[in-house]
């Protein structure tokens, strides 16, 4: 174990998306001194020089978490989403091949269409139904066909410190709106960035390759997730269920995108249930203001 830990400490780890919510958790978990952070504005995945810039840093391991993550935005700017998520990933994979370094690509539950009623396994066929999912799936294919030694980690419904995410949106809304309307016909698994970052460290230590699903355990709807957030804040705000159609978002969403943890468990890792991790996050991120209850 000690030898493994030392080998991570000795690695040069290049991290894209370092300022994003997962990037921040990865920097903290791997240790700031171990990571070569890359993000906008200095590092742009759409820039023609990306491959050379990576080569210059000569990392042993690249963790590619940088992405265009605005799901509705990707319907309005499909070319940009594709340039960042697909073409950018192609450049990263090419650099990794030239360096002979390992690559971890962070992907998404939105590669699936959501028509299943049981958790998606790694070998289930992706069939994205929106531009964001398509751009990420093409990113996966770029990694798989490049010949690089890679691990594709599909995760879902991420939240954590320093990010714009569902939890922080609901926390903000709960402090100003009397009633919150939230979609109750999409199922997924909320995932805390700190839990995912710890799993990434373990997967690097074990040198796992291929495709793996990593989320917190359990499943819920966005409506149930919102209810839990408001409850953990100690509020009694009314959360009202609405349908996807009523929400009227630009991008289609998979109705069921729960990811199976079977492969992760078979490797000896178990992430906490989503509701326990949510408690931890809210405890660390929210100070109740008695007056606004």
Ligand X SMILES: NC(=O)c1ccc[n+]([C@@H]2O[C@H](COP(=O)([O-])OP(=O)(O)OC[C@H]3O[C@@H](n4cnc5c(N)ncnc54)[C@H](OP(=O)(O)O)[C@@H]3O)[C@@H](O)[C@H]2O)c1
Residues labelled as active-site residues: 132
CB of residue 191 to ligand X, shortest distance in Å: 7
> Which one of 5-13, 16-24, 53-61, 258-266 is the stretch in contact with ligand X (CB under 6 A)?
16-24
By CB under 6 A, residue 163 contacts ligand X: yes
By CB under 6 A, residue 21 contacts ligand X: yes
CB of residue 97 to ligand X, shortest distance in Å: 20
By CB under 6 A, residue 169 contacts ligand X: no
Q: Could you say which of 158, 173, 200, 214 contacts ligand X (CB under 6 A)?
A: 158
Q: Could you say which of 156, 171, 230, 264 contacts ligand X (CB under 6 A)?
A: 156
Task: Please list the residues that pair with 221 across neighbouring strands.
Answer: 187
**8 Å CB contact between 89 and 65:** no
Q: Which residue is nearest to ligand X (CB)?
A: 20
Cα dihedral across residues 278, 280, 283, 285: positive or negative: negative
By CB under 6 A, residue 170 contacts ligand X: no
By CB under 6 A, residue 39 contacts ligand X: yes
CB of residue 156 to ligand X, shortest distance in Å: 5
**Site mask, ligand X, residues 65-104, x = CB under 6 A?**
xxxxx--------------x--------------------
Is the Cβ of residue 40 or residue 235 nearer to ligand X in the bound state? Answer: 40
By CB under 6 A, residue 106 contacts ligand X: yes
Cα–Cα distance between 67 and 81 in angstroms, integer?
A: 8
By CB under 6 A, residue 63 contacts ligand X: no
By CB under 6 A, residue 43 contacts ligand X: yes
Is the Cβ of residue 71 or residue 239 nearer to ligand X in the bound state? Answer: 71
DSSP structure string for the chain = -HHHHHHHHTS-EEEETTTSHHHHHHHHHH-GGGEEEE-TTTS-TTSTTHHHHHHHH--SEEEE------TTHHHH-HHHHHIIIIIHHHHHHHHHHHHT-EEEEEEEGGGS-S--SSPBPTTSPP---SHHHHHHHHHHHHHHHHT--EEEEEE-SEE-TTS--HHHHHHHHHTT-SEEEEE-S-EE--EEHHHHHHHHHHHHHTT--EEEE---BS-EEHHHHHHHHHHHTT---EEEEE-HHHHT-SS---SB-PBP-HHHHHTT--PPBHHHHHHHHHHHH----GGG-
Joined together, the tokens standing for residue 160 give 């954590």
By CB under 6 A, residue 183 contacts ligand X: no
CB of residue 146 to ligand X, shortest distance in Å: 17
> Which one of 13-21, 91-99, 217-225, 252-260 is the stretch in contact with ligand X (CB under 6 A)?
13-21
Residue ranges in contact with ligand X by CB under 6 A? 17, 19-23, 39-40, 43-46, 65-69, 84, 106, 108, 136, 155-158, 163
């Amino acid at each position: 174990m000690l030898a493994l830990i030392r080998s991570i400490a000795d690695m040069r780890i290049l991290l894209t998306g370092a300022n994003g919510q997962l990037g921040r958790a990865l920097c903290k978990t791997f240790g700031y001194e171990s990571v070569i952070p890359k993000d906008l504005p200095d590092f742009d995945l759409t820039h023609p020089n990306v491959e050379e810039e990576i080569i210059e840093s000569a990392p042993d391991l690249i963790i590619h978490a940088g992405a265009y993550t605005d799901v509705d935005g990707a319907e309005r700017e499909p070319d940009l989403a594709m340039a960042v998520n697909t073409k950018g990933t192609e450049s990263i994979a090419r650099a990794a091949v030239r360096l002979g370094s390992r690559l971890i690509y962070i992907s998404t539950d939105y590669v699936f269409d959501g028509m299943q009623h049981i958790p998606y396994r790694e070998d289930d066929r992706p069939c994205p139904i929106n531009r964001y999912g398509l751009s990420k799936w093409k990113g996966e294919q770029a990694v798989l066909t490049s010949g690089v030694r890679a691990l594709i980690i599909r995760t879902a419904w991420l939240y954590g410190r320093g990010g714009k995410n569902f939890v922080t949106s609901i926390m903000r809304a709960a402090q100003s709106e009397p009633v919150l309307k939230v979609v109750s016909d999409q199922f997924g698994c909320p995932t805390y960035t700190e839990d995912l970052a710890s799993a990434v460290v373990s997967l690097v230590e074990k040198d796992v390759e291929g495709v793996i699903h990593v989320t917190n355990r359990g499943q819920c709807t966005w409506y149930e997730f919102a209810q839990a957030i408001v409850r953990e804040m100690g509020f009694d705000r009314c959360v009202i269920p609405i349908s996807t159609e009523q929400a009227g978002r630009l991008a289609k969403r998979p109705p069921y995108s729960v990811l199976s943890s079977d492969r992760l468990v078979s490797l000896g890792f178990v992430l906490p249930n989503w509701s326990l991790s949510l408690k931890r996050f809210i405890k660390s991120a929210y100070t109740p203001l008695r007056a606004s209850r």
